[in-house]
Structures are given as structure tokens and as C-alpha cells.
Amino acid sequence: MENENFKPEESLQLINVMINKAKNKLVDDGFLFIFWGWLVFLAATSFYLLVKMEFEQAYYVWYSMPAGGIFTMIYAMRQSKKENVKSFVDEYLMYIGIAFGVSLTIILVMGWKLQMNCYPMVILLYALTTFIYGGILKFMPLVIFGALSFPISVGAFFVDFHTQILLLALSVFVSYLIPGYMLQYKFKQQTKHV
């Protein structure tokens, strides 16, 4: 009968393989950072312009968010069907994604109570989530660019509503789009060598 216990070196090697697999998975999924970065960036800048033009239904641009959420769920389900093995890192990322979605929904639904503090809280949530994702995956651009949204969030507490919208656009540009394109580039480089 074989010994089913792992040696410490084998355990570390297995953990390393799982972490590297999760890193590659996120690189594959770098698409979602780009997708959400552009969706929120375009919605925020459109909202800003429409509000400045005194368009009464400017808030309609935010209806693209639930559509983006539905698209993301379909995309994630299709991606998970392609995967044979789920690592503990995959599970961590899934729970972070769920916590982000629930937290964002609470902030947006309770926006009427938060009033002028709604967008700074959303920016803070973007910063926190990308920072944690980057830390778990040891992908420093997500950590660094996520961290840049922390001071953007603080600054948003001290400016008017219109400027907060622009800071929201800046935050997703910094924390989602820049690292998203870096992830995409890294994936292309990795697939060249495979």
C-alpha cells in the first residue's frame, strides 16, 4: 500500500502549481478587467457629460451595469465549464468577486442614504478588490494600480458630485484598464512560449 501522505516538498510543489494555474487563469480572464474598466469608464464619462448638458435622464447610462453583470455571469459560467480542476486560489477569487458584487450593490442601493459619499465608497471598493486580487495572485500591477485608487477615493470625499464622477472614471482607468491590458499582454507573451 502506497503512502498517501505528501512530503513537505511535494506539498509546496503542488501549492506552487495551483497558484501558477490561478495566475494564468486570471491572465486569461484579464478580459473582464478590460471589459468592466471600459464599461464603467464610458458610463461615468457619459453620465458626467449628460449631467453637464442638463439631460434629465442622464442616469440611464447606469442601466448598462446590470447588463454587464449578466454578461459577466454568463462568461464566468462558460469559463468554469472549461476548467477541469479548481484550486483554493480560484475559490478565494470567487469569494472576493461575490463579496465585491454584494458590497457594490449595497453601496449603490443605499446611495440615497450615503448621498455625496456614494462614489467615494465605490472607488474605495475598486481599490480594495484589485489590491487583494493582485496580492493573492502576486501580480504587482494589480496591487500598485489598485493602491492608487485609495488616494483617489479619499480625494473624492472632498470634491463636488460632478468631480466625483470624473474621479470614478479615473479610478477604473487606473485600477482596471491599465492592469487589465498588462494582464492581456502577459497572457500573449506566455502563449507565445507554449
122-134 pLDDT, tens digit per residue, is 999 999 999 998 8
Q: How many domains does the chain have?
A: 1
Sign of CA dihedral 43, 79, 31, 139: positive
| pLDDT value of position 194 | 57
Give CA torsion, residues 80, 84, 89, 92, to 10 deg. 40
**Kind plus residue range of the DSSP H or E element containing 86:** none
For residue 153, is it within any domain? yes
For residue 7, is it within any domain? no
Average pLDDT in the 173-193 region? 86
Please state whether the predicted TM-score (pTM) of the whole model is above 0.75.
yes
38-85 pLDDT, tens digit per residue, is 999 999 999 999 999 999 999 999 999 999 989 988 988 887 777 666
- Cell numbers linked to 150: 485609495
Share of the chain above pLDDT 90, in %: 51
| pLDDT value of position 175 | 95
- Is the per-residue pLDDT at 151 higher than 90? yes
Return all residues near 154 (Cβ < 8 A) that are at least 6 apart: 120
Return all residues near 118 (Cβ < 8 A) that are at least 6 apart: 107, 108, 111
| pLDDT value of position 176 | 94
User: Could you give the CA distance from residue 123 to residue 154 in angstroms, rounded to a whole number?
Assistant: 9
| pLDDT value of position 12 | 64
86-121 pLDDT, tens digit per residue, is 667 777 888 888 899 899 989 988 888 888 889 999
Q: Which residues form the domain of 167?
A: 16-192
For residue 61, is it within any domain? yes
